[in-house]
Chains A and B, each alone.
Chain A
Amino acid sequence: MTEASTAAVPLDDAARAALLELAVRGLHRGALGPAQRQLVDAGLAMVKGPLVMPTAEGRAAAADELRLPEGGEQETTLRRLMTTFLPINHRLRELCTSWQRRPDGSANDHGDPAYDAAVRDELDDVDEAVGRVLRRMAEAAPSLAHYRADLTAALEAFDDGHTGMLTSPLEPSYHTVWMWLHQELLLMLGMSREEDGELEAALVAAPSA
Chain B
Amino acid sequence: MSTPLVPYGQGRARGLGAAALGVHGDEMDRLVALGLPVVPGLTVPVGHAEELTDPAVARSAVDLVSQLAGRTVGDPAHPVLLRLVASAPLPAAGLPPEVVAIGLTPGNVDGLVGVIGRDGDLHQAWGALLRLLAEDALGVDPAERDDALAGIPAPRDQLSALLALCATSGLGPVPEDAAGQLALAATAVLRRWASPRGARARRTQRLPPDLGLALHVQALRIGHWERSGHGLATSRDPETGRAVATGRFHRGVRRTAPSAAGSEESLSGLGPAGEVLQQALTTLEHHFGSVAEVGFELRDGRVSLLSAGAVERPTPRAAVCLAVDLADAGVLTRAGAVRSLAPSAVQELLHASVRLTGSEAVLATGLAASPGAAEGVVCLSAQRVLALAADGTPAVLVADETDPGDVPAILVAGAVLTAHGGLASHAAVVARGAGTPAVCGASSLRIDRAQGLVSAGDLQVREGEVVTVDGRTGTVYLGAVDIRPAEPPAELDRLLGWADGSRRMGVRANSDTVRETEVALRLGAEGIGLCRTEHQFLGERLPLVQRMLLAPDAAAHRAALEELRRAQHEDFVHLLRAVGDRPVTVRLLDAPLHEFLPRDAVYEDEAARLRAAELHEVNPMLGVRGVRLALLDEELYPAQAEALFLAWVQVVEEGVRPLLEVMVPLVSLPEELAVAAGQVRLARDRVEAQTGVRVPYLLGSMVETPRAALLADRMAEHAHFLSFGTNDLTQMTYGFSRDDVESRLLRSYLDRGLLTASPFAELDADGVGALMALAVDRARRVRPEIKIGLCGEHGGDAASVAWLEGLGLDYVSCSPQRVPVARLAAAQAVL
User: Which residue numbers of A lie inside 8 Å of B, CB to CB?
Assistant: 27, 29, 50-51, 93-94, 96-97, 100-102, 104-107, 109, 112-118, 120-121, 124, 128, 132, 135-136, 159, 170, 204-209
Whether A208 lies near B197 (C-beta < 8 A) is no
Whether B358 lies near A117 (C-beta < 8 A) is no
Quote the shortest CB–CB distance from B309 to chain A (angstroms). Answer: 12
Restricting to B105-158, which residues have a CB under 8 Å from any CB of A? Answer: 118, 120-121, 124, 142-143, 146, 150
Residue of B nearest to A111 (CB): B313
Q: Which of B260, B312, B315, B358 contacts A97 (CB 8 A)?
A: B358
Instruction: Other than A102-B313, A209-B121, give 17 A-B pairs with Cβ distance below 8 A.
Output: A94-B358, A104-B238, A104-B313, A104-B315, A107-B472, A112-B313, A117-B93, A117-B94, A120-B94, A121-B93, A132-B146, A135-B146, A159-B200, A170-B458, A204-B262, A208-B120, A209-B263
Cβ of B475 under 8 Å from chain A: yes
Residues of A within 8 A of B470 (CB): 107
For the A-B complex, the count of residue pairs with Cβ-Cβ distances under 8 Å equals 89
Q: What are 6 sample pairs from A and B whose C-beta atoms fall under 8 A apart?
A: A104-B315, A118-B94, A124-B197, A132-B143, A159-B200, A204-B262
A135-B204 Cα distance, complex, nearest whole Å: 29
Q: Mark B325-357, 1 if CB is under 8 A from A, else 0.
A: 000000000000000000000000000011111
Q: Mark B52-78, 1 if CB is under 8 A from A, else 0.
A: 000000000000000000000000000
A2-B628 Cα distance, complex, nearest whole Å: 74
A101-B121 Cα distance, complex, nearest whole Å: 31
Quote the shortest CB–CB distance from B300 to chain A (angstroms). Answer: 19
Given contacts A208-B263, A209-B121, contact A114 B358 (CB under 8 A): no
Whether B358 lies near A136 (C-beta < 8 A) is no
Quote the shortest CB–CB distance from A34 to chain B (angstroms). Answer: 23
Quote the shortest CB–CB distance from A63 to chain B (angstroms). Answer: 23
Whether B355 lies near A105 (C-beta < 8 A) is yes
Quote the shortest CB–CB distance from B785 to chain A (angstroms). Answer: 45
Whether B356 lies near A100 (C-beta < 8 A) is yes
Given contacts A120-B204, A205-B262, contact A107 B150 (CB under 8 A): no
Residues of A within 8 A of B312 (CB): 112
Quote the shortest CB–CB distance from B469 to chain A (angstroms). Answer: 13
Cβ of B261 under 8 Å from chain A: yes
Restricting to B433-485, which residues have a CB under 8 Å from any CB of A? Answer: 457-458, 470, 472-473, 475
A68-B726 Cα distance, complex, nearest whole Å: 69
Whether A135 lies near B143 (C-beta < 8 A) is yes
Residue among B91, B354, B358, B458 facing the most chain A CB atoms (10 A cut-off): B358
Whether A113 lies near B204 (C-beta < 8 A) is yes
Whether A209 lies near B252 (C-beta < 8 A) is yes
Whether B263 lies near A207 (C-beta < 8 A) is yes
Residues of B within 8 A of A116 (CB): 204
Tally of chain B residues near chain A (CB < 8 A): 39
Residues of A within 8 A of B204 (CB): 113, 116-117, 120
Quote the shortest CB–CB distance from A159 to chain B (angstroms). Answer: 7
Quote the shortest CB–CB distance from B97 to chain A (angstroms). Answer: 9
Whether A107 lies near B475 (C-beta < 8 A) is yes
Whether A121 lies near B475 (C-beta < 8 A) is no
A106-B261 Cα distance, complex, nearest whole Å: 21
Whether B356 lies near A209 (C-beta < 8 A) is no
Residues of B within 8 A of A114 (CB): 91-93, 205
Residues of B within 8 A of A128 (CB): 142
Whether A170 lies near B200 (C-beta < 8 A) is no
Residue of B nearest to A115 (CB): B93
Residue of A nearest to B460 (CB): A49
A109-B262 Cα distance, complex, nearest whole Å: 28
Closest 6 CB pairs of A and B: A97-B358, A209-B120, A118-B93, A121-B94, A105-B355, A117-B93
A101-B355 Cα distance, complex, nearest whole Å: 9
Q: Mark B605-623, 1 if CB is under 8 A from A, else 0.
A: 0000000000000000000
Whether A101 lies near B356 (C-beta < 8 A) is yes
A93-B359 Cα distance, complex, nearest whole Å: 9
Given contacts A115-B93, A136-B150, contact A100 B358 (CB under 8 A): yes
Cβ of B682 under 8 Å from chain A: no
Cβ of B429 under 8 Å from chain A: no
Residues of B within 8 A of A106 (CB): 353, 356, 473
Quote the shortest CB–CB distance from B123 to chain A (angstroms). Answer: 9
Quote the shortest CB–CB distance from B225 to chain A (angstroms). Answer: 8
Restricting to B350-399, which residues have a CB under 8 Å from any CB of A? Answer: 353-358
Quote the shortest CB–CB distance from A127 to chain B (angstroms). Answer: 10
Whether B143 lies near A117 (C-beta < 8 A) is no
A165-B50 Cα distance, complex, nearest whole Å: 37
A29-B150 Cα distance, complex, nearest whole Å: 40
Cβ of B807 under 8 Å from chain A: no
Q: Which of A93, A205, A209 contacts B358 (CB 8 A)?
A: A93
Whether B142 lies near A132 (C-beta < 8 A) is yes
Given contacts A114-B205, A208-B263, contact A105 B356 (CB under 8 A): yes
Quote the shortest CB–CB distance from A180 to chain B (angstroms). Answer: 16
Residue of A nearest to B94 (CB): A121
A209-B253 Cα distance, complex, nearest whole Å: 10
Quote the shortest CB–CB distance from B319 to chain A (angstroms). Answer: 12
Given contacts A51-B458, A101-B358, A115-B93, contact A120 B200 (CB under 8 A): yes
Residues of A within 8 A of B143 (CB): 132, 135
A107-B458 Cα distance, complex, nearest whole Å: 23
A29-B355 Cα distance, complex, nearest whole Å: 32
Residue of B nearest to A206 (CB): B262
Quote the shortest CB–CB distance from B407 to chain A (angstroms). Answer: 29
Residue of A nearest to B261 (CB): A204
Residue of B nearest to A120 (CB): B204
Residues of B within 8 A of A204 (CB): 261-262
Q: Which of A113, A115, A136, A209 contacts B206 (CB 8 A)?
A: A113
Cβ of B201 under 8 Å from chain A: yes
Quote the shortest CB–CB distance from A10 to chain B (angstroms). Answer: 31
Residue of B nearest to A128 (CB): B142
A184-B60 Cα distance, complex, nearest whole Å: 55
Quote the shortest CB–CB distance from A19 to chain B (angstroms). Answer: 20
Whether A27 lies near B458 (C-beta < 8 A) is yes
Residues of A within 8 A of B201 (CB): 117, 120-121
Given contacts A113-B204, A208-B260, contact A96 B358 (CB under 8 A): yes
Residues of A within 8 A of B356 (CB): 97, 100-101, 105-107
A135-B457 Cα distance, complex, nearest whole Å: 35
A135-B145 Cα distance, complex, nearest whole Å: 13
Residues of A within 8 A of B458 (CB): 27, 29, 50-51, 170
A57-B96 Cα distance, complex, nearest whole Å: 51
Residues of B within 8 A of A101 (CB): 356, 358
Q: Mark B194-237, 1 if CB is under 8 A from A, else 0.
A: 00010011001110000000000000000000000000000000
A107-B354 Cα distance, complex, nearest whole Å: 9
A115-B470 Cα distance, complex, nearest whole Å: 22
Residue of B nearest to A27 (CB): B458
Residue of A nearest to B92 (CB): A114
Quote the shortest CB–CB distance from B611 to chain A (angstroms). Answer: 45
Residues of B within 8 A of A96 (CB): 358
A106-B373 Cα distance, complex, nearest whole Å: 12
Residue of B nearest to A104 (CB): B315
Residue of B nearest to A168 (CB): B362
Residue of A nearest to B97 (CB): A125
A112-B355 Cα distance, complex, nearest whole Å: 19
A101-B118 Cα distance, complex, nearest whole Å: 37
Residues of A within 8 A of B238 (CB): 104
Residues of A within 8 A of B261 (CB): 204
Quote the shortest CB–CB distance from B342 to chain A (angstroms). Answer: 13
Whether A109 lies near B473 (C-beta < 8 A) is yes
Restricting to B250-265, which residues have a CB under 8 Å from any CB of A? Answer: 252, 260-263
A120-B199 Cα distance, complex, nearest whole Å: 12
Residue of A nearest to B263 (CB): A208
Quote the shortest CB–CB distance from A167 to chain B (angstroms). Answer: 9
Quote the shortest CB–CB distance from A97 to chain B (angstroms). Answer: 3
Quote the shortest CB–CB distance from A95 to chain B (angstroms). Answer: 10
Residue of B nearest to A48 (CB): B458
Given contacts A93-B358, A109-B473, A135-B146, contact A208 B262 (CB under 8 A): yes
